[in-house]
Amino acid sequence: MAKYLVIVESPAKVKTIKKFLGAKYEVMASNGHVRDFPKSQFGIDVDHDYEPKYITIRGKGDILAGLRKEAKKADKVYLATDPDREGEAISWHLMKALKLDELKDKKVYRISFNEITKNAVKSSLKAPRQIDMNLVDAQQTRRILDRMVGYSISPLLWAKVKRGLSAGRVQSVALRIICDREDEINAFIPEEYWNLDADLTDGHAKKPLIAKFHGTADGKVAIHNKKELDQILKNLENAHYVVDEVKHGERTKKPPIPFTTSTMQQEASKVLNFSTQKTMRLAQQLYEGVEVKGHGTIALITYLRTDSTRVAEEADQAARAYIGQNYGEKYVSEGETAKKGGAKIQDAHEAIRPTDVTLTPDRVRHDLTPEQYRLYRLIWGRFTACQMSNAVYDNVVVDAGSAGYLFRANYSEQKFAGYTAVYEEAKDEETSEVRRPLPSLKQGDAVELKNVTKEQQFTQPPARYTEATLIRAMEEKGIGRPSTYAPTISTILSRNYVVKEGRYLRPTNLGIVVTEMMEEYFRNIVDLKFTANMETDLDKIEAGKMAWKDVLREYYKDFDANLNNAEIQLEGKHLKVPDEESDEVCPNCGRKLVYKNGRFGRFLACPGYPECSFTMPIVVEMPGKCPACGGRLLKRTSRKGFAYYACERGHDCPGHGE
């Protein structure tokens, strides 16, 4: 009886896939990559045309031995790693590590599938192929470029700034984007302006019409200062208000496009407050398979690393049938599923979607963890919405005039839910539309002024990046790819280049010093256009339109010159990182406490060390006051990572220990 071996990346997939195949198939896992560069050496032979040197990753010897044993017994070997560059490279490394290309009378094939379902897995076995070396070369080039930067610059950072630091081809650019935004915030000069609202009534409505100052008949006018405001108010004294125009209209809102890796991470951050790392971990679990009552172990979503929004015809039709049966035919979209294109799309993968639209979030809720459920509900809702009709709104705009000035009120009411019956996108900022019925008014109606509300405002600097907005910025600028966003953000946080304050990412003094050094000595590495062009070159390698060694030769020539120059210029120098002061005062000596990093994370310490060795956890003030003494309530974190709340006076608080 013939026997076949299927090798996947993750052990979690083994059980899911094994139940789809017969007894003659053995399914085993490589546990990710099996070969990489040696840790103690550069691993790239520059003198021999940038030939990489790979060794077996420590701890993978037993795994490879088991795979080699099964491969010798099998008539056919199927390499079923993930359907992307990284997966293709793992298959190639497996081929080399297991010496599959040397085994006689052995048929070795590469198969890939976008979803771990019975149909997808069986279909892939019917369409085996050879390893795509263009994909492998693109991955090798990326890995070698990252190695050049990390292995060469990180020791320089250790010597000139601080031990434990690192640089990276994508990581350093992401950090620069955050630092550039901080420079914009620091350079921002607020400008004054005023809001002016008029509460108008026709004498019949229970609630007044709240109309905002718009300008004049000639166009919008901004109120820049109190002097301009007072002049407008003076002109409006004893003036009569008349409805100039009432516009009725209909507005449609199209459903969103399906999730890519980037948009899934952004939406999960905004809606669920998940970090990119958590989102990818949970999505991996949903992709590899979970135990669902009545179904066994099944995968709930398609492959999670993709920048495509394409949806398979079969999935599209299944979603439309589900919507028609459960919501009615008028909720089914008449057009094609929204798609996007462009040069940045790396592959022909599908968007992220549920493998079976009939497995609604409610049906699988009790089989998932709360966090898995919340992410699956988001993915299921987004995909289902994509096949649904537009939401329709009735709009009313009322313009009221007085003394040559124009006041405007907007109103919008949903007329037909459409796709919003299952999904609503997170909003970055609140809408300014009035969400209550307006008085029934027509052109020429006289209205009476009940009240005027004036409010001084100042323009605000651009907001710091959140994880979601940073990913969006990186995607728009062509920095990195779906697989790099989460690890990049995780790295700059773990290196303390950036800290999270609420949802926002703020560069630390360490991050600013490192970025300034990179900008001075390694300008290309932190140049956004240069990095984006490098990603384009990787895409060209993948498409077979560029030789990978040519890219390495061109890159290394300038990089090596910059590295030598940096080592010469920094000879004997040490770049000092200024302490970051807090608002907290040392109770022992009165100095302002500064932020430090330790084995348990960031903490506050007295800058007077060693004369004064006072330390304390970082202060996060909570709403309310201590019921025992009226002091501030602070959020603390224990050494085991648990959050708790305590009075700022600690043991001195009368309520301590109660």
Catalytic residues, by residue number, are: 303
Quick one: 197 exposed, middle or buried, by C-beta within 10 A (0-12, 13-18, 19+)? middle
b/e per residue 583-609 (b: at least 16 CB within 10 A): eeebeeeeeebbbbeeeeeeebbbebe
Helix axis angle, 276-288 to 485-494, nearest 10°: 140
* Sign of the dihedral through C-alpha 125, 308, 378, 356: negative
Place of tokens 């140049």: 527
Contact (Cβ atoms closer than 8 angstroms) between residue 389 and residue 334: yes
Closest among 524, 514, 532, 510 to 563, alpha carbons compared: 524
Helix axis angle, 11-18 to 276-288, nearest 10°: 30
Q: Going by DSSP bridges, is the β-strand pair 192-201/446-458 parallel, antiparallel, or unpaired? A: antiparallel
Contact (Cβ atoms closer than 8 angstroms) between residue 223 and residue 193: yes
b/e per residue 210-224 (b: at least 16 CB within 10 A): bbbbbeeeeeeeebe
Quick one: 522 exposed, middle or buried, by C-beta within 10 A (0-12, 13-18, 19+)? buried
Distance CA 524, CA 520 (A): 10
Contact (Cβ atoms closer than 8 angstroms) between residue 380 and residue 354: yes
Spell out where 93-154 has E strands: 107-110
Q: How far is CA 94 from CA 55, 74, 618, in A?
A: 12, 15, 47
SS3 category, 447: strand
Contact (Cβ atoms closer than 8 angstroms) between residue 60 and residue 31: yes
Contact (Cβ atoms closer than 8 angstroms) between residue 338 and residue 256: yes
| HEC-encoded secondary structure of 179-198 | HHHHHHHHHCCCCEEEEEEE
Contact (Cβ atoms closer than 8 angstroms) between residue 94 and residue 79: yes
Element (DSSP H or E) covering residue 486: helix 485-494
Quick one: 333 exposed, middle or buried, by C-beta within 10 A (0-12, 13-18, 19+)? buried
Spell out where 80-191 has E strands: 107-110
Contact (Cβ atoms closer than 8 angstroms) between residue 580 and residue 509: yes
